[in-house]
Structure 1
């Protein structure tokens, strides 16, 4: 019996595969990437593969196979060669760390993202809104998991703060130390053959959560630094694992930086509260920053829109504009370089050297 359906092989990918199918190719899913080696799940189990040279040199970095991708593989004795990737349902991305304006794809083909924050020191609504924004504009459903609820006096007040952000997503209060609590929410939100990704800063308890969901200690649990109260990385690479209930979970390393990008098909900063109010703005292209007759600014002045939500929205908007400008500059430079290269080639041809 094929193992592929249990790893998310569905009608979308079957149709794409049939369109590319040849007898010597098989479908597989990337479950981990270790340097140049790709670990795949195939019809017969786990296998290793490398990228075909033609694929490696014909694409941008973000188009290379990522964890969660379905790929076309050609077998050569013990090793496979990845020939191509099947069209993705979605991509979870961020701005590449540092000053680079590049877009970095973290994982693909995800049904929902579990955003974990710890209620001991990590809880930060503005950072959470950043995660929510990026995940929503990537076309992925967010689920907020507030971990370490046993360490605060009134955990419900934290849940209410998340609900006030206005994203209308599930918000789970839990403690990774109590397995019965994990069963309560995972049975509701983690479905068999669906793919989820575990996101959050280091030290929020992601590894402890994953160990609890698996039922055994697969990940080493990291301590929190006493010097800066920041967690230490225990996950260093993204890896897709199958949970006992049949759902699939990608465990991602802790991220200290989640830069905002602009995703294809998205317009502005998607936020349910802002979008509802924007309909009443005087100008259709209102930026909600200074225009007269702005319903968003008026709602904030009246207290109907939380100031925290608006301040975070404005900051994300500025970051997105900066990312757009950086990408536009990069493309302009590439066009200018291409034009110059053609001129040089023509000049050499005309001069015959």
Structure 2
């Protein structure tokens, strides 16, 4: 593993404090507030790191009442706090560089923000029955739309006879992102890829289903057990949840990782509603379509359909693209319906209030 680095810089800089946050902090200096980063959230308690060390805090009533839940501080956020002895009150959140979100689990068309201010998402799949290109493409799609750089980690490579074929299949998806073959149990392999991709003062997030080896990988990187490692059920080959909350931890080499619970659902939200589904292979061919508004499904002169027919675009990529497009459109349509309903309810409530007011003697 990598040697520990000697930390001589201020604590906040170790945890990613930069000019972006400094600029917004300097425009908000008042009431003796100080900056802190959210390391984890347990119920109402937020564990923070400040210039003088760790501190527990809770959200102010004004912040709770003025924000939607998705705008509440999340793991990785930089916040402004006011101290009260050994605890503090979180007054506000500094503007995010980005935020990683997904469709909230279930049928609701609501967005769930998982973490904020992330440089790179480490998307982990295990090669012991967990490997799924469609699921992987969904992760890649959402991560990229959230303006986060992806790196695919194919773990448990020691359990398959020819792991390189799995890596090549991921490369053929065309996302032009690093794809790493490794085993979390092999210290040399861990050291090789982390020395290349985990940089000091950068924030990473581990994503993947339960049982892919995220906790084992994180424990290996830390050099001690932050999380207990879960077994995989022999009945369905699905992993057991070992991580129950998101935690931001500082690694010995100075980089930071946010560990996340295993996710069985990772639905699209359409972060950039006007951009549609991003895919490098599709986007490269789209300008060659006859019509500028081509949906790449049934129009004559469609370069994407032609590429599928002549074999230059893998059909699996195309089918996955259409499925993700329908999923995103469904989310955005449901979201628009929800907005209309809320607007109608607000208008009706105002009319009722006005009627009651006018009816008084």
Which TM bucket (shorter chain)? over 0.9
1:265 deviates by 6.2
8 A contact 1:192–1:247 mirrored in 2? yes
Select the residue among 89, 94, 100 that pairs with 2:97: 89
The answer to whether structure 1 residue 256 and structure 2 residue 271 are counterparts is no
RMSD after superposition:
1.0
Aligned twin of 1:283 = 291
Deviations for 1:78-110, whole angstroms, at most 9, x for unmatched residues? 210000000000010000000110000000100
Structure 2 gap ranges (5+): 1-8
The count of aligned residue pairs is: 353
1:262 deviates by 1.2
Deviations for 1:13-65, whole angstroms, at most 9, x for unmatched residues? 11010011125100000000000000000000100000000001111110000
Select the residue among 337, 341, 346 that pairs with 1:338: 346
Deviations for 1:266-294, whole angstroms, at most 9, x for unmatched residues? 51001000000001011111111111111
Aligned twin of 2:113 = 105
The answer to whether structure 1 residue 233 and structure 2 residue 237 are counterparts is no
Aligned twin of 2:142 = 134
Q: For 2:91 and 2:321, how far apart are their aligned partners in 1?
A: 41
Give the SS at the match of 2:27.
Answer: helix
Aligned twin of 2:207 = 199
Aligned twin of 2:124 = 116
Q: How does 1:7-22 map to 2 (within 5 A)?
A: 7-22=15-30
Q: 1:288 to 1:254 in 2, by over 3 A?
A: same
The answer to whether structure 1 residue 49 and structure 2 residue 57 are counterparts is yes
Q: For 2:195 and 2:201, how far apart are their aligned partners in 1?
A: 13
Deviations for 1:100-154, whole angstroms, at most 9, x for unmatched residues? 1000000010000000001111111111001000000000000000000111111
Give the SS at the match of 1:319.
Answer: helix
Query: Could you tell me the TM-score, scaled by structure 2's length?
Result: 0.96
Select the residue among 145, 148, 153 that pairs with 2:156: 148
Runs of 4+ in 1 over 3 A off after TM superposition: none
8 A contact 1:281–1:293 mirrored in 2? yes
Give the SS at the match of 1:97.
Answer: coil
1:264 deviates by 3.6
Aligned twin of 2:313 = 305
Q: For 2:192 and 2:30, how far apart are their aligned partners in 1?
A: 45
Q: For 2:345 and 2:128, how far apart are their aligned partners in 1?
A: 51
1:352 deviates by 1.0
Q: For 1:18 and 1:285, how far apart are their aligned partners in 2?
A: 45
Aligned twin of 1:350 = 358
Q: For 1:172 and 1:314, how far apart are their aligned partners in 2?
A: 27
1:218 deviates by 1.7
Give the SS at the match of 2:70.
Answer: helix
Q: For 2:188 and 2:252, how far apart are their aligned partners in 1?
A: 15
1:2 deviates by 2.8
Query: Could you tell me the TM-score, scaled by structure 1's length?
Result: 0.99
8 A contact 1:27–1:73 mirrored in 2? yes
Give the SS at the match of 1:106.
Answer: strand
The answer to whether structure 1 residue 244 and structure 2 residue 252 are counterparts is yes
Select the residue among 228, 231, 234 that pairs with 1:220: 228
Give the SS at the match of 2:89.
Answer: strand
Give the SS at the match of 1:258.
Answer: coil
Select the residue among 28, 32, 38 that pairs with 1:24: 32
